[in-house]
């Protein structure tokens, strides 16, 4: 599985609540590239892929907005591991990424950091695909 990641310089101060949630500080992003500087690299990584995330519309919306700000289009099929887990593994009280990782023994050391959350979502996607295979409907959407 290939990975792509980068901190980005948001060109403004990071709110204290976000620093507390993510552990990402203003000092950490001060020398990081601007979104426009990594957009081509990210598009090359995506190639003809599917954008997968837990609560996918949240992450997809941020990236789409950043591409629009630089006058470009970001359009990829989306797959939500939250929705997929609800469908394939019903009955949990919570379908938050942290709770699902706890239930299924998935490492989530830096929750709310993109790379960690993406790795966890990939493992949830593996569970979803395993269940789809067992149920015999591999050709249908998660």
Residues acting as catalytic residues = 112
Q: Within 10 Å of residue 11's Cβ, how many Cβ atoms?
A: 8
Tell me how far apart the alpha carbons of residues 75 and 67 are, in angstroms, rounded to a whole number: 10
Asked whether 92 and 84 are in contact (CB, 8 A), the reply is no
């Amino acid at each position: 599985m290939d990975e792509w990641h980068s901190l980005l310089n948001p060109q403004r101060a990071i709110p204290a609540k976000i620093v507390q949630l993510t552990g990402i500080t203003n000092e950490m992003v001060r020398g990081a590239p601007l979104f426009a500087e990594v957009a081509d690299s990210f598009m090359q990584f995506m190639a003809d892929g599917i954008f997968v995330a837990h609560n996918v519309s949240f992450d997809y919306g941020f990236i789409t907005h950043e591409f629009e700000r630089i006058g470009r289009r970001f359009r990829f099929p989306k797959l939500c591991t939250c929705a997929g887990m609800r469908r394939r593994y019903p009955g949990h009280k919570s379908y938050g990424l942290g709770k699902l990782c706890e239930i299924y023994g998935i490492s989530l050391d830096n929750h709310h950091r993109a790379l960690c959350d993406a790795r966890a979502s990939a493992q949830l996607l593996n569970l979803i695909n395993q269940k789809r295979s067992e149920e015999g409907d591999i050709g249908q959407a998660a």
